[in-house]
Amino acid sequence: MIKAEWFYWLVGLSFLVMASQMLTDRSNPKRFGTTAFWGLLGAGFIYSSWVVEKKAPAEPLGAAVLVMVLLAGFGFTGRGTPRTTTPEQREASALKLGNKLFVPALAIPVVALLCAVLVKKLSIGGEPILQEGSETILGLGIGAVVALVVGMIMLREKRISVPVQAGRSMLESMGWAMLLPQLLATLGTIFQLSGVGTQVGKLATSVLPEDSLYVAVVVYCIGMALFTVIMGNAFAAFPVMTAAVGWPVLIEHFHGDAPAVLAIGMLAGFCGTLVTPMAANFNIVPSALLELKDQYGPIKAQLPTAGVLLGCNIVVMALFAF
Amino acid sequence: MIVLLGVLVVVVGFATKRNALLVVGVAGIVTGLLGGLSPQEVLAAFGTGFASSRAVTIFAITLPVIGLLERYGLQEQARRLIARFAKLTTGRFLALYLGMRQIGAAVGLTHVFGHAQTVRPLAVPMAEGAAERKHGRLTDKGREKVRSFSASADNVGLFFGEDVFLAVGSILLITSFVNTTYNTHLEPLHLALWAIPSALCAFAVHGWRLLRLDRYLERELVAANIEPVAEGAAK
């Protein structure tokens, strides 16, 4: 049986390999902090396996996460000069290879989908090939490995160090932002543990008339959007609003279809992302990038769409989820 | 009620433009302590939270192959592909871009487009070029509008396309959160299917608004360019 943990170890291992490359990269002025950040992330990925199985204490991992936060938060991470091709070389190569270049890139989603739909049902000797419940993650992992093999054969690239270096410079250019979604999910869990969801739930139920399904749908969707505006990210809003209204009221009380309620709830949150300056990487950074005089230009362009789409999500959820 | 102060920490942190990781870290510690967790329990919460949300970061496994393809001109080829559609109006071009962004995100290519790599070097010049070919010189106001809408096409396309791809962070976040918190089992595929109605709505609504941009530009630019046209006619 192929297990999801193997792919977490592979990701952890590649972070560790990339961290060791960062250590020797003298073009990065902050190479020690950068190495420590990615090294801890890689080690954390592997150590997590035992935390999930409750065979190792979670506190050391928590401490490592906080060290990563401090390293990134106080500017100890940086990036080196990537070793890559020149724009002219890339232009020439694109001209030569044409649309063939999309084949490996498209192999990733195709393999992921095949695993999630077909391979999932296969088993050898009564044991499923893919670990149950992790078919999607396995699909992504297998897809990436297949795509890498196809890509290297197609491009006649023999050195595995080339894609690893390329991946490393993409990691460095994303920097600490790559850890942010995972940390926001963690924050959501902590909010949940500390009872923020329950408090918001109390506030919500005090304004919610009992047995009014449609009002509850509206409160969940608008709550997702508002919380996302405040937190700048639907990932952090989701656990709070789901613990407050989504799960107890919409799914348990009104017996809503869980995948529909939760998927549409998340998209209602995305309507909030479209209109908040807190989501700086989507809304404020582009105005700087495009040299706009009005830094709220993109938000203004998105505001009417976000409003209408929030309405659409409410209607779709109310019509189809119950 | 006092635990809601953690939310306030996030708001103040982002409003004063602190480093986002730092804000989230501090908000987690403050909320945990106010919620009655001991310092040790807060550490453990960070640890278990990190361990159970690893699925969100697993897309990193695709970076080496994407990086390899970019070395060999993946972005340049994507650019050439779009350039074939250059003879469009601004609104139609941006609606097409919206559709391509949505489809790309829906098959998992969330990093093929983007503000830095596609919108600035490619989409904006093409959208502005289309407007100028049709209506003459762009005013400052018109230019701001075209650029804002170019950025918006990328955002709307990404947000309402990516959830159709089942291995994206937000779908994996929903399943990992719900499966661990409520001891149930949700399939990413079912969640992804439920993202399709909203994706279609997003394309219809924002696509229509992008097409309306042509009308706005016509009014704005024809009025602004009337003088030079009249001058030309007098000669």
Cα–Cα distance between B134 and B146 in angstroms, integer? Answer: 14
Please indicate, yes or no, if residue A43 is contained in any of the structural domains: yes
Cα–Cα distance between A111 and A7 in angstroms, integer? Answer: 15
In this predicted structure, what is the pLDDT of residue A109?
Answer: 75
Q: A211 and A314 share a domain?
A: yes
In this predicted structure, what is the pLDDT of residue B56?
Answer: 75
Distances (CA, A) of A199 to A203, A322, B38: 6, 26, 20
CB proximity list for B19: less than 8 A, separation 6 or greater: A72, A73, A74, A75, A176
User: What pLDDT band is residue A93 in, cutting at 50, 70 and 90?
Assistant: confident
Please indicate, yes or no, if residue A301 is contained in any of the structural domains: yes
Please indicate, yes or no, if residue A26 is contained in any of the structural domains: yes
Q: A60 and A147 share a domain?
A: no
Helix/strand/coil (H, E, C) string of B22-59? HHHHHHHHHHHHHCCCCHHHHHHHHHHHHHHCHHHHHH
Q: A47 and A141 share a domain?
A: no
More confident residue, B116 or A28: A28
In this predicted structure, what is the pLDDT of residue B226?
Answer: 65
Please indicate, yes or no, if residue A146 is contained in any of the structural domains: yes
In this predicted structure, what is the pLDDT of residue A309?
Answer: 96
Residue where a domain stops, chosen among A124, A158, A192: A158
User: Shortest CB distance from B198 goes to which of A94, A155, A264?
Assistant: A264
The enclosing H or E element of A123 equals: strand A123-124
Q: Min CA distance, B188 vs chain A (Å)?
A: 7
Would the CB atoms of B51 and A290 count as touching at under 8 Å?
A: no
Please indicate, yes or no, if residue A169 is contained in any of the structural domains: no
Q: Give the CB-side neighbour count of residue A74, counting CA atoms within 13 A.
A: 6
In this predicted structure, what is the pLDDT of residue B73?
Answer: 85
Whether the predicted model's global pTM rises above the 0.80 cut: no
Q: A103 and A210 share a domain?
A: no
Instruction: Identify residue B39 by its one-letter amino acid code.
Output: P
Q: Min CA distance, B132 vs chain A (Å)?
A: 18
Q: A67 and A97 share a domain?
A: no
Q: A9 and A112 share a domain?
A: no
Residue where a domain stops, chosen among A44, A74, A104: A74
Q: Which residues of A touch B138 (CB under 8 A)?
A: none
Cα–Cα distance between A9 and B61 in angstroms, integer? Answer: 11
Q: A68 and A133 share a domain?
A: no
Residue A123's DSSP bridge partners are A128
CB A214 within 8 A of CB A318: yes
Inter-chain CB pairs, A–B, below 8 Å = 450
Q: A301 and A231 share a domain?
A: yes
Burial class (CB in 10 A: 0-12, 13-18, 19+), B11: middle
Neighbours of A55 (CB within 10 A): 8
In this predicted structure, what is the pLDDT of residue B231?
Answer: 45
Give tens-digit pLDDT for B123-147. 887 888 888 877 778 888 999 999 9
Residue where a domain stops, chosen among A14, A40, A74: A74
Cα–Cα distance between B63 and A320 in angstroms, integer? Answer: 37
Please indicate, yes or no, if residue A163 is contained in any of the structural domains: no
The DSSP 8-state label assigned to residue A130 in this structure reads B
Highest mean pLDDT among A76-90, A156-170, A256-270: A256-270
Give tens-digit pLDDT for B108-121. 776 667 777 678 77
Cα–Cα distance between B208 and A309 in angstroms, integer? Answer: 13
State the best of A96, A162, A191 to mutate against chain B, taking most chain B CBs within 10 Å: A191
Q: Classify the phi-psi angles of B197: left when phi > 0, otherwise alpha if psi is within -120 to 50, otherwise beta.
A: alpha
User: What pLDDT band is residue B83 in, cutting at 50, 70 and 90?
Assistant: low
Cα–Cα distance between B182 and A244 in angstroms, integer? Answer: 13
Which tokens in the block code for residue A89?
């070389």
Give tens-digit pLDDT for A162-199. 898 888 888 887 778 778 878 887 887 888 788 887 78
CB B3 within 8 A of CB A197: no
Q: Could you tell me how far CA B173 lies from the centroid of its own chain?
A: 18
Rounded average pLDDT over B25-43? 91
Would the CB atoms of B202 and A169 count as touching at under 8 Å?
A: no
Q: A297 and A235 share a domain?
A: yes
User: Shortest CB distance from A109 goes to which of B108, B177, B182?
Assistant: B108
Rounded average pLDDT over A218-231? 90
Would the CB atoms of B14 and A232 count as touching at under 8 Å?
A: yes
Cα–Cα distance between B11 and A314 in angstroms, integer? Answer: 26
Q: CB of B186 within 8 Å of any CB in chain A?
A: yes
More confident residue, B66 or B234: B66
Please indicate, yes or no, if residue A80 is contained in any of the structural domains: no
Please indicate, yes or no, if residue A202 is contained in any of the structural domains: yes
User: What pLDDT band is residue B167 in, cutting at 50, 70 and 90?
Assistant: low
The boundaries of the domain holding residue A273 are: 179-321
Q: A126 and A13 share a domain?
A: no
**Angle, to 10 degrees, between the axis of helix B20-34 and the axis of helix A59-73?**
140
Q: A227 and A280 share a domain?
A: yes
Would the CB atoms of B209 and A260 count as touching at under 8 Å?
A: no
In this predicted structure, the answer to whether residue A105 has a pLDDT above a threshold of 70 is yes
User: What pLDDT band is residue A84 in, cutting at 50, 70 and 90?
Assistant: confident
In this predicted structure, what is the pLDDT of residue B235?
Answer: 46
The DSSP 8-state label assigned to residue A127 in this structure reads E
Cα–Cα distance between A235 and A269 in angstroms, integer? Answer: 8
- ipTM of this complex prediction, to 2 decimal places: 0.81
Instruction: Identify residue A132 by its one-letter amino acid code.
Output: E
In this predicted structure, what is the pLDDT of residue A291?
Answer: 82
The DSSP 8-state label assigned to residue B164 in this structure reads T
In this predicted structure, what is the pLDDT of residue A129?
Answer: 84
CB proximity list for A41: less than 8 A, separation 6 or greater: A15, A68, A179
- The number of distinct structural domains making up chain A is 3
Distances (CA, A) of B16 to A173, A279, B56: 24, 13, 27
Give backbone dihedrals phi and psi of A74, rounded to 5 degrees, phi first: -105, 20
Q: A268 and A185 share a domain?
A: yes
Query: Which of A40-49, A162-171, B193-202 is the least confident region?
Result: A162-171
